[in-house]
Chains A and B, each alone.
Chain A
Amino acid sequence: DGGITQSPKYLFRKEGQNVTLSCEQNLNHDAMYWYRQDPGQGLRLIYYSQIVNDFQKGDIAEGYSVSREKKESFPLTVTSAQKNPTAFYLCASSTPTGVNTGELFFGEGSRLTVL
């Protein structure tokens, strides 16, 4: 089945540890995105990538890093510099024009809790 797979679904970490969230898609989409969602809030864009080996910062990139070495993969690392990392993280992918028509495919999310 085509889709986006995020892992792990739930993750607990101690303060000060780096954490990497996985996002894999088999939709052959060029564009991939990482969003963060806090309770009672909408989605805020962390990083996005339109093509392999290239990515751009979103609105809240501080304390995060990404890579795009393969078209199907866009892992997100939450570093110790992120002051409040506990949140729900959503990965999405689309065709280059998919954002205009709402054709954004989301993964099931990863819930990170920092103790």
Chain B
Amino acid sequence: EDKVVQSPLSLVVHEGDTVTLNCSYEVTNFRSLLWYKQEKKAPTFLFMLTSSGIEKKSGRLSSILDKKELFSILNITATQTGDSAVYLCALPRSDKLIFGTGTRLQVFP
């Protein structure tokens, strides 16, 4: 059965810290792995990863995929309070997206 597991479930850090969020998966017919940020309501798209070892970067956020070990990590450096959110990992399965459990990140000043 296809599944997406994220860890940790929750993370509390201080501003300036660096965090690493994990997403491991088992899915048939891998096409891509997606990361979203959900602050209050609607998730917003962060990254799409399709190839192993190629880092995607946007400001202080970066992500990489390992298709051999079936996981991806999302790094956030120099965290700010505005990074507080739930971070979701998702994979396409047939014609729909399946989401992981999410990691709730809280950044305190």
Contacts and interface: CB of A to CB of B under 8 A. Distances in A.
A106 B42 contact: yes
B interface secondary structure, majority: strand
A79 to B, nearest CB: 22
A78 interface: no
- Interface range on chain B (Cβ under 8 Å from partner): 20 to 34
B32 A106 contact: no
Contact of B9 (A35, A40, A100, A104): A40
Interface in A9-47: 31, 33, 35, 40-45
A35 B41 CA distance: 12
Contact of A109 (B10, B42, B88): B42
Contact of A42 (B10, B31, B47, B99): B99
Nearest to B34: A102
B42 A35 contact: no
B25 to A, nearest CB: 12
Given A40-B10, A43-B88, A108-B42, A102 B99 contact: no
Contacts of B11: none
Contacts of B96: 33, 45, 48, 58, 99
Given A99-B92, A109-B41, 20 more contacts: A33-B96, A40-B10, A40-B102, A42-B101, A43-B90, A45-B96, A45-B97, A48-B96, A50-B95, A58-B96, A59-B98, A90-B41, A90-B43, A99-B95, A100-B31, A102-B36, A104-B45, A104-B97, A108-B41, A108-B42
A101 interface: yes
B48 A101 contact: yes
A88 to B, nearest CB: 8
Given A90-B42, A107-B42, A109-B42, A44 B34 contact: no
